[in-house]
């Protein structure tokens, strides 16, 4: 390129740069004017995804952020978030890291707990535990290595059959989010007393994530789906339901992410605060005309 052309191109580049630098940055979005809270919570989920990179799981952050948002609107200062089935610990580490960010953004304290045998899967009892997929000892944990990666999260080791009743007896802060990843039907049944707890230990709606319900040989008659169906049959006032159409409510970039179909919500219909205003639909903007 002749020198004069090169100089002209340089000048043009500098002009564009000056122009861009003078461009006022757009005013930050005022979420309080939105009709629904999804935009605000999604923005937080995306911000955390960018900040934490590979160490985060957006489905955990989404469930935890919705739980903390509900607690904030009910004036509840502290919540518990739980991973059932920890194995190597990447999920618990993700929950641990994101809890700091959600706590800072929404001003609700968050206790993070992970339940696991510490020694991998127990022995499947029968066909409902899908022994075609799982074997005893699958997903072992290196406890010392995992403890070194955890900050606030606490590991509760042992069979959930034993540890969950003791945990509930300790009167934790209300449970806001549970990731079910115990793989076995029998273990999921053993964990579900969490959702039978005294309402003081639960938010009126508990965000849930069910890891093992899509593809493979999962069906309504085995694994986590069967445990949930039996729970719903046995509890007229406690129901675990999919969040229908969740893909339309998560950040756009996750519309086709598999985890969206694994988002559930436990409805504690006998919770004294089930009907309290939860901030999801912004009241001042309600205009049905
Ligand atoms: C698939 S792994 C969990 C993976 C982990 N959530 C993650 O995303 O990295 C399943 C875990 O559930 C645990 N588990 C299954 N049944 C259990 C039970 N009855 N009590 C305690 N832990 C159990 C196993 O020890 C195993 O580590």
Whole-angstrom distance, CA of residue 84 vs CA of residue 194: 11
In a domain, residue 28? The reply is no
Name the token pair of 117.
């045998």
Share of the chain above pLDDT 70, in %: 91
Question: Based on the structure, what is the number of domains in the chain?
Answer: 1
Question: For residues 81 and 226, what is the distance between their CA atoms, to the nearest angstrom?
Answer: 23
Would you say the CB of residue 184 lies under 6 angstroms from ligand 1?
yes
State if residue 61 touches ligand 1 by the CB under 6 angstroms criterion.
no
For 243-264, what is each residue's pLDDT tens digit?
A: 999 999 999 999 999 999 999 9
Q: Is 71 exposed, middle or buried (CB count within 10 Å of its CB: 0-12, 13-18, 19+)?
A: buried
pLDDT band at 2 (very low <50, low <70, confident <90, very high): low
In this predicted structure, the answer to whether residue 172 has a pLDDT above a threshold of 80 is yes
Q: Who's near 115: CB < 8 A, 6+ residues apart?
A: 82, 83, 84, 85, 86, 156, 160, 163, 164, 167, 191
User: What's the CA gap between 41 and 106, in Å, rounded?
Assistant: 10
Handedness of CA 114, 119, 120, 125 (dihedral sign): negative
Instruction: State what percent of residues in the chain have pLDDT above 90.
Output: 85
Q: Is 217 helix (H, G, I), strand (E, B) or coil?
A: coil
CA distance 132 to 175: 33
Kindly tell me if the per-residue pLDDT of 32 is higher than 90. no
Is residue 261 a part of any domain in this protein?
yes
Q: Is ligand 1 within 6 A of the CB of residue 222?
A: no
Burial class (CB within 10 angstroms; exposed 0-12, middle 13-18, buried 19+) of 43 = middle
| 212 CA: nearest ligand 1 atom | 1
Per the model's pLDDT, the better-predicted residue between 9 and 190 turns out to be 190
Q: Is residue 30 part of a domain?
A: no
Inside any domain, residue 125: yes
Nearest ligand 1 atom to the CA of 57 is 8
Has residue 6 got a pLDDT over 80?
A: no
The pLDDT of residue 21 is above 80: no
Domain that includes residue 101, residue range: 36-285
Contacts of 281 (CB under 8 A, 6+ apart): 35, 36, 37
DSSP E strand boundaries for 85-237: 109-116, 154-157, 175-180, 202-210
* Residue 108 located in a structural domain: yes
Segment 210-256, tens digit of pLDDT: 999 999 999 999 999 999 999 999 999 999 999 999 999 999 999 99
Residue 230 inside a domain? The answer is yes
Residue 163's alpha-carbon distances to 81, 104, 158, 169, in angstroms, are 16, 30, 6, 10
Tokens 């799982």 -> residue: 134
> Separation of 189 CA from ligand 1 center, angstroms?
13
Q: What is the pLDDT of residue 4?
A: 64
pLDDT > 90? residue 165? yes
Q: What is the pLDDT of residue 27?
A: 83
Residue 37 has pLDDT above 80, yes or no: yes
Place of tokens 């990179």: 53
| Pick from 104, 105, 108, 86: nearest CA to 95 | 86
Closest of 106, 99, 32, 38 to residue 71, by C-alpha: 106
Q: List, in sequence order, every residue forming a beta bridge with 81; answer none if it has no partner.
A: 112, 177
Atom 6 (ligand 1) nearest CA: 86
186 pLDDT band (50/70/90 cuts)?
very high
Return the residue matching tokens 């580490």: 93
Q: What is the mean pLDDT of residues 123-145?
A: 98
Within a domain: residue 69? Answer: yes
How many Å lie between the centroid of ligand 1 and the Cα of residue 140?
8
Confidence (pLDDT) at 287: 55
- For residue 181, the domain's CATH number is 3.40.50
3-state secondary structure of 123: coil
Tell me: the pLDDT tens digits for 63-117? 999 999 999 999 999 999 999 999 999 999 999 999 999 999 999 999 999 999 9
Q: How much of the chain is helix, strand and coil, in % rounded to 5?
A: 45, 15, 35
CA 18, CA 15: separation in Å to the nearest integer? 5
Residue 4 within any structural domain of the chain: no
What confidence score (pLDDT) does residue 289 get? 53
Q: Using CA atoms, how far apart are residues 244 and 247, in angstroms rounded to an integer?
A: 8
């Amino acid at each position: 390129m002749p020198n004069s052309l090169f100089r002209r191109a340089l000048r043009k580049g500098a002009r564009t740069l000056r122009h861009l630098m003078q461009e006022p940055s757009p005013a930050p979005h005022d979420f309080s004017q939105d009709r629904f809270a999804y935009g605000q919570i999604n923005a937080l989920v995306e911000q955390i995804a960018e900040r934490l990179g590979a160490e985060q799981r957006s489905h955990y952050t989404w469930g935890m952020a919705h739980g903390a948002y509900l607690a904030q609107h009910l004036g509840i200062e502290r919540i518990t978030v739980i991973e059932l089935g920890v194995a190597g610990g990447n999920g618990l580490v993700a929950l641990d890291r994101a809890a700091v960010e959600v706590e800072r953004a929404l001003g609700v304290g968050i206790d993070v707990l992970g339940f696991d045998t510490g020694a991998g899967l127990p022995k499947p009892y029968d066909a409902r535990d899908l022994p075609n997929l799982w074997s005893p000892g699958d997903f072992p944990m290196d406890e010392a290595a995992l403890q070194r990666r955890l900050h606030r999260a606490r590991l509760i080791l042992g069979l959930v059959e034993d540890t969950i009743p003791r945990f509930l007896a300790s009167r934790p802060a209300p449970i806001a989010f549970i990731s079910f990843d115990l793989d076995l039907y029998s273990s999921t049944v053993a964990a579900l007393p969490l959702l039978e707890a005294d309402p003081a230990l639960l938010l009126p709606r508990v965000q849930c994530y069910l890891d093992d319900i899509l593809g493979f040989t999962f069906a309504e008659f085995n694994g986590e789906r069967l445990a949930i169906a039996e729970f719903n049959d046995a509890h007229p006032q406690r129901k675990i339901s999919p969040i229908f159409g969740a893909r339309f409510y998560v950040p756009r970039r996750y519309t086709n992410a598999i985890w969206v179909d694994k988002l559930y919500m436990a409805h504690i219909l006998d919770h004294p605060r089930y009907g309290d205003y939860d901030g999801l639909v912004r009241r001042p903007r309600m205009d049905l005309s």
